[in-house]
Amino acid sequence: MSQSSSITLTQCSRTFAGGHVALKPLDLHVEAGETLVLLGPSGCGKTTTLRIISGLERPDPGGRVHFGERDVTALPIEKRDVGMVFQNYALFPNMNVADNITYGLRIQKLSRAEIDRRLAEVLEMVDLKGYAERSIAALSGGQKQRVALARAIAVRPRVLLFDEPLAALDAKLRDRLRLEIGALLRELGITAVYVTHDQDEAMALGDRIAVMQAGRIAQLGTPREIYHQPANAFVADFIGAVNRLEVQTQAADGTFCVPGGTLRAPHLAKAATLYCRPEDIQVVPIEKAQLKGRIIESVFLGQAQQLAVDTGNDTTLSVRVSSRREWPAGSEIGLMIPEQALFQPTAPGARAHG
């Protein structure tokens, strides 16, 4: 397809009328062809960042936006060569599927033959062959979002932007469309910035993820890094479930005394709190256990059993085990946590609480 460009934000902040700071000065670089996901709770500044990239918003004075080498800070969105997919589809209700998709092409005044060729091409890509003449009102939510996607890629943008495109769809459809978007992005090799508050979406689609919190980037890294080496407690909490173990005493050989037993983690420096994911905790016979506790809650989830284990001293661990066995609440249980599954926030000086 077209020439993708990299995106560079330099000291981009955004203050709204009334003094609300939606975005603190931000530096961000997205490689050409890369998919970057902006992930965070509502109000964290992810949508503002996307809108600054798109040109729908301007950064406060001093901030610069570059596409490749070109400074586009002063350009409005219609001059930036971007494709955008919105949460509420934003399809033109007065046009049918074909007219929606070719709107940008007609603006570019392409020849009729070229428009028809591109229309057929993108309809094929989003699996909507034969829908060209349908009216928008006759489409399902998933089909609408595919039309919106086709409309955005038909103009062959240098950058593709997604603003929570799947948030309005139901869970099943969301999963399917997520896979399709992922496949499409790989096929096109286009630079993409994808805003979502859904961690599964972020991990499935992102080459890198920027987790945002209160107007700044809390961590920027590959999905693997974000999940296994979260920079702070906020990121650890936001991406998946996490257990915290308050360290009572720490020995020089890397043994940590925590409520319910002792854990070994020589790779960790001095830590006040140890973190681990629920699925990394293993159940072992009581006599071999590092930690002992009592099941206080046992929930059957189908694909797994979710246990809440009380290890004393106000500590409750969340544990995921096979649902093939019965796990009655009230029974004693022995746990083991492999060394490498234990982590602590990597960022120096990271705040303990989000």
Q: Which stretch binds another protein (CB under 8 A): 61-69, 146-154, 259-267, 331-339?
A: 146-154
Residue with tokens 């173990």: 245
- 219 is written with which tokens? 């961590």
The answer to whether residue 83 forms part of the interface with another protein (CB under 8 A) is yes
Q: Which residues of 258-274 are buried (b: 16+ CB within 10 A; e: fewer)?
A: bbbbebbbeebeebeeb
Residue with tokens 């829908």: 131
Candidate list 48, 49, 54, 143; residue touching another protein; CB under 8 A? 54
The answer to whether residue 122 forms part of the interface with another protein (CB under 8 A) is no
Round to whole Å and give the CA distance between 231 and 346.
5
Q: What dihedral do alpha carbons 39, 41, 42, 44 form, nearest 10°?
A: -70
Chain CA centroid to CA 151, Å? 24
Residue closer to another protein by CB (options 118, 277) is 118
Residue closer to another protein by CB (options 100, 213) is 100
Q: Which stretch binds another protein (CB under 8 A): 32-40, 87-95, 189-197, 340-348?
A: 87-95
DSSP annotation of 135 reads: B
The answer to whether residue 269 forms part of the interface with another protein (CB under 8 A) is no
Candidate list 20, 70, 71, 78; residue touching another protein; CB under 8 A? 78
Within 10 angstroms of residue 322's Cβ, the number of other Cβ atoms is: 10
Q: Which residues contact 180 (CB under 8 A, 6 or more apart)?
A: 126, 127, 146
Residue with tokens 């257990």: 243
The answer to whether residue 191 forms part of the interface with another protein (CB under 8 A) is no
Contact between 267 and 281 (Cβ < 8 Å): no
- 254 is written with which tokens? 């890397």
Q: Which stretch binds another protein (CB under 8 A): 92-100, 169-177, 228-236, 264-272?
A: 92-100
Residue closer to another protein by CB (options 116, 279) is 116
The answer to whether residue 19 forms part of the interface with another protein (CB under 8 A) is no
Q: Which stretch binds another protein (CB under 8 A): 78-86, 220-228, 279-287, 334-342?
A: 78-86
Distance in Å, CB of 104 to another protein, minimum? 3
The answer to whether residue 56 forms part of the interface with another protein (CB under 8 A) is yes
- 109 is written with which tokens? 């005044």
Residue closer to another protein by CB (options 92, 300) is 92
Q: How many residues bind another protein (CB under 8 A)?
A: 28
The answer to whether residue 155 forms part of the interface with another protein (CB under 8 A) is yes
The answer to whether residue 2 forms part of the interface with another protein (CB under 8 A) is no
The answer to whether residue 93 forms part of the interface with another protein (CB under 8 A) is yes
Round to whole Å and give the CA distance between 160 and 140.
23
Residue closer to another protein by CB (options 82, 125) is 82
Residue with tokens 């060569």: 81
Residue with tokens 């009655």: 328
- Report residue 290: phi and psi, to 5°: -80, -40
Candidate list 2, 15, 88, 306; residue touching another protein; CB under 8 A? 88
Distance in Å, CB of 137 to another protein, minimum? 5
Binding site for another protein (CB under 8 A): 54, 56, 76-79, 81-84, 86, 88, 90-94, 103-104, 107-108, 136-137, 148, 151-152, 155, 161
